[in-house]
Chains A and B, each alone.
Chain A
Amino acid sequence: MTATTRTAPRTALRHRLAERGIDRQLLLLVPALLAVLILFIYPFAYGMGLSFQPAEGGVLGAYRNFFGDAYQRDTIGTTLQLALPAAFLNVAASVPIAYRMRGRFRGKRLLTTLLVVPITLGTVLTAEGLLNFLGPTGWFNRTLLEAGLVDGPLRLTNNYWGVFFSLVITGFPFAFLLILSYLSGIDPTLERAAATLGAGWWPRFHRITLPLLAPGLATTFCLTFVLAFSVFPSAVLVGDPAGTTRVISIAAYHAAYEAYDYSLASAIAVVMGVVELAVVAAVLGVRSLFYTGSTGGKG
């Protein structure tokens, strides 16, 4: 009881602050806030500052270097050409599969477990496996040759397709699990009500489930896109890192660790962040044109 009674004049301000939600408990936030500020915001600001102080060429020299050199500038296009289709395919394939698999059925736990496996494989093992499996003498080409479907082995590694496959293997399970959890967050009675009123499966999906799923779709697309956008190991290992899959993260890495031009590296990192946030903003912008409201689950 004594803990709750306070002397009136001294605590007046504290009371008023506490009413607005400001009290000593907020101190619990301090360590996390400090960590993010020191380890994330400060380096980012530092890097941004560095990108405006190149050895030569004035304030925007590093950016001019990057955008003036077609070899560097094209990495943006290369990255987007890989990341956007991969993210789109992962999300688009996840929706019908997750739609069919929500609710309960036998082996669901096994299936979801199997689907988590590729997430843990990591890009490096996936790259190694793809080189073995899709390579010119790998099982995949061997099967196609035996079946007489192709004349010579398909070239699927050390080019665009190798990287693309690796993005699908690591990205699809991630997208699927997210979409599945968003889908199971939608109240199934809504759809049953629609069915009772005589709606077929397409109107049910198109008019009920899809709008409710839209926020989840947007979030999933963004997260999958971020994963695909930062592709680095697989672009080096299964891709063609000097040519068709020279993605922007390779350019940044080269600038920092091989050319030791930290200014250019920071500039590339900033460009990368801006491009990525622009895509995320565009997706969220398109999403806000559709239904916004309660979805039943946490979206």
Chain B
Amino acid sequence: MRRRIVATPGAWLVWGAVGFFFVLLAGVIGSVLVSSFGRRWFDTWLPQSWTTQWYGQAWHEFTLLDVLIVTVEISVLVVAISVLVGVPASYVLARKNFPGRRLLYLLFLLPILMPPITYGIPLATVLYKYGLAGHMAGVVLANLVPSIPFVILTMTPFIEQVDPAIERAARMCGARTGQVFARILAPLLVPGILAASILVLVRTVGMFELTFLTAGPDSQTLVVALYYTMSAAGIRAQQSVDAMAVIYTSMMLVLLVVALRFVNPTQLVARVKEDVE
């Protein structure tokens, strides 16, 4: 069912709003991109000449390689732990009905509903008390707080749609719980687990507040390093900060393109068939 673009006033208004949003977005991304390649850019439409030197400068000046390695290490650890912890829990929540189930679900929902700063500050205080903050361990622990519930919330509906009859059949054929998990459920859940882990990965790479509150000098992720260079701007060329921002965005974009191969963003909440003809 393809809609013709008919010029009703409502349609114009809607497309106008979308257009305005995209112009704003393109301006925001474009100006950073252009600035990162420009040599001098003050009072003109475009920079006077072009260069790629800012990228080299940003790479060396901010020791970006180290920052990138730390970012990858932290995100992979967070994804692995939250999937290992979250998936079994979401299996139980999806399959079983037991007293206190709703309460437990609410408990898992809370960390997502609270702004990160609210629990981040007490959490950072606790982590500093036990000497965990300021290192990678603290950053990983802090990032687990929203990630585990996030895995649970995305995986529970996914597991609900796997037919329980398959598991019962496996059990009837004599499979134990471990075998049901490894041989039956795991292969069926791979798409869901992939989707959840990529979403957690994107969230962790982009998570600012929690990492900011718990990171030490050797455990900053890219987004936190970017914030520090931006808020301490003035001593550095604006363009090299822009170059760093572009590196960050392209990394996120790669992740995003990978993510969208596995996840349809409109089906995150409700898993429904697209409009049947």
Contacts and interface: CB of A to CB of B under 8 A. Distances in A.
A148 to B, nearest CB: 17
B111 interface: yes
A290 interface: no
Interface of B: 1-3, 10-11, 13-14, 17-18, 21-22, 24-25, 27-32, 35, 42-43, 45, 84-86, 88-89, 91-93, 95-99, 101, 104, 107-108, 110-111, 113-119, 121-126, 141-142, 144-145, 148-149, 152, 157, 174, 176-177, 202, 206, 208-209, 223, 226-227, 230-231, 241-242, 245, 248-249, 252-253, 255-256, 260, 264-272, 274-275
Contact of B256 (A117, A129, A133): A117
A124 B125 contact: no
Contacts of B2: 104-106
A230 B101 CA distance: 29
Nearest to A99: B14
Contacts of B206: 120, 122
15 contacts: A25-B96, A26-B98, A39-B144, A47-B122, A96-B13, A100-B11, A116-B265, A117-B25, A129-B28, A137-B43, A184-B270, A226-B113, A230-B115, A268-B121, A276-B115
Residues of A in contact with B, size category: 35 or more
Interface of A: 1, 3, 20-22, 25-26, 28-29, 31-33, 35-36, 39-44, 46-48, 50, 93, 96-97, 100, 102-106, 112-118, 120-130, 132-134, 137-140, 142, 165, 168-169, 172, 177-178, 180-182, 184-185, 188, 216, 222-223, 226, 229-230, 232-233, 236-237, 249, 252-253, 256, 262, 265-266, 268-270, 272-273, 276-277, 280, 297-299
B243 to A, nearest CB: 11
Contact of A116 (B24, B260, B274): B260
B174 A3 contact: yes
B266 A266 contact: no
Contacts of B272: 181, 184-185, 297
B206 to A, nearest CB: 5
Contact of A298 (B144, B149, B256, B271): B271
A32 B152 contact: yes
Contact of A230 (B99, B149, B209, B255): B209
Nearest to B238: A132
Nearest to B21: A172
A113 B118 contact: no
Contacts of B22: 114
B154 to A, nearest CB: 12
A269 B119 contact: yes
B226 A129 contact: no
